[in-house]
Structures are given as C-alpha cells and as structure tokens.
C-alpha cells in the first residue's frame, strides 16, 4: 500500500507522487479515476479494487509552475552524485561555492557544485584559477520538468514515461 502512484491533473499534467493507499482513497471518494493499473488487484470481501499505477484527478487543480528548490539533496542530484572537480562518484560529497562567499560568491544554482571532501579541501577558499582546478560542467539551475522531478521513479515504473515526457 506504500508503492508510489503518479497523480495527474485533469489536463494530464503530472503534479505529484502519492502512495497506493491515498490513491485508492481518492478513487473511492470519486475524486480521481484510474488511468493505468499494471500492479494487480486488492481483494476485499465485497469487491476487487485495481491497484493503481497512475491516477487522474477529476477536478483541475491550479498550481504554479514547479521549481526545484536549492538544497543539498537537489545539488547532489543535479550533479549525479559526482564530484564536479575530479569526476569521482560518491555518496560522501560536500557543497562547494565556485566563487567563494568571502569573495562575493552567492549561494545560487550557478555558484554551487557537489565536491568530494578532498577536492573541496584542495580548493579551499580560492577561485578556480588560483586553485588550478576546473569544473566538469558549468553549474546551472535544473529544469522544473516532470521528468526531472519524478524521474527517479522511472527506473522502476517505466509505464509513467509517456505521461512525464510532455511536461
């Protein structure tokens, strides 16, 4: 009952990922319809309930365009859990400011990267030129697209892909 379920707005825009229990409640309250089953059924005494993979809300929910918030987890995700100086993948990363804060650098998507502790220590409070280091890729704000926001589920739930691609 805790498996993720993709929630689509009335216009088929992906807006959320919820659990199976909540998705079934939305369907039973007639607030959502089943779009894709793909996971079997839940048997009760009086009826069989399909286990949803994707549901669609019956009423349009007006939401602002989603943005990815700047935090440690999202920086690591954007940089694919890889040090942006040496290219070593790791789960023990730190955040480094490309232009150090004491030199006027800001805490923004364009100025922060994931770095392994060794590279972060080597760079210290210096600029890239002073430290004789270079970035693997220029840091930028990640897209707010549905594929980026919900893409971590695509490895397991490939049936979501057609609904995420267009948004």
Is the per-residue pLDDT at 26 higher than 90? Answer: yes
Average pLDDT, the chain: 90
Q: Tell me, what's the pLDDT at 24?
A: 93
Q: How far is CA 28 from its chain centroid?
A: 29
Model confidence at 157, pLDDT cuts 50, 70, 90, reads confident
Question: For the chain, what are the domain ranges?
Answer: 4-65+144-165, 72-131
How much is the average pLDDT of 72-87?
Answer: 95
Looking at residues 59-83, what average pLDDT do you find? 90
pLDDT digits (tens, 9 = 90+) for 34-69: 998 877 888 888 888 888 999 999 999 998 877 889
The DSSP result for 100-152, as a single string, is -GGGT--SSTTTEEEE-HHHHHHHTTS-HHHHT---SS---PPP--HHHHHGG
pLDDT, one tens digit per residue, over 104-146 is 999 999 999 999 999 999 999 999 999 999 999 999 998 877 7
pLDDT at residue 65, as a whole number: 77
List % helix, strand, coil for the chain (3-state, nearest 5): 30, 20, 50
User: Domain 72-131, CATH 3.30.420.240 — does that match?
Assistant: no
């Amino acid at each position: 009952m805790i498996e993720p379920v993709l929630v689509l707005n009335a216009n088929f825009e992906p807006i959320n990922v919820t659990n199976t229990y909540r998705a079934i409640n939305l369907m039973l309250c007639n607030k959502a319809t089943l779009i894709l089953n793909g996971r079997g059924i839940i048997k009760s005494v009086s009826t069989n309930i399909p286990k949803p993979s994707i549901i669609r809300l019956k009423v349009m929910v007006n939401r602002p365009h989603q943005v990815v918030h700047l935090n440690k987890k999202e920086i690591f995700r954007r940089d694919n859990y890889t040090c942006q100086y040496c290219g070593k993948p790791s789960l023990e990363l730190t955040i480094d400011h490309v232009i150090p804060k004491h030199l006027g650098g800001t805490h923004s998507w364009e100025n922060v990267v994931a770095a392994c502790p060794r590279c972060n220590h080597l760079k210290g409070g210096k600029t890239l030129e002073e430290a004789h280091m270079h970035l693997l890729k220029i840091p930028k704000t990640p897209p707010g697209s549905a594929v980026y926001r919900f893409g971590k589920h695509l490895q397991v739930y490939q049936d979501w892909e057609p609904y995420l691609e267009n948004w």
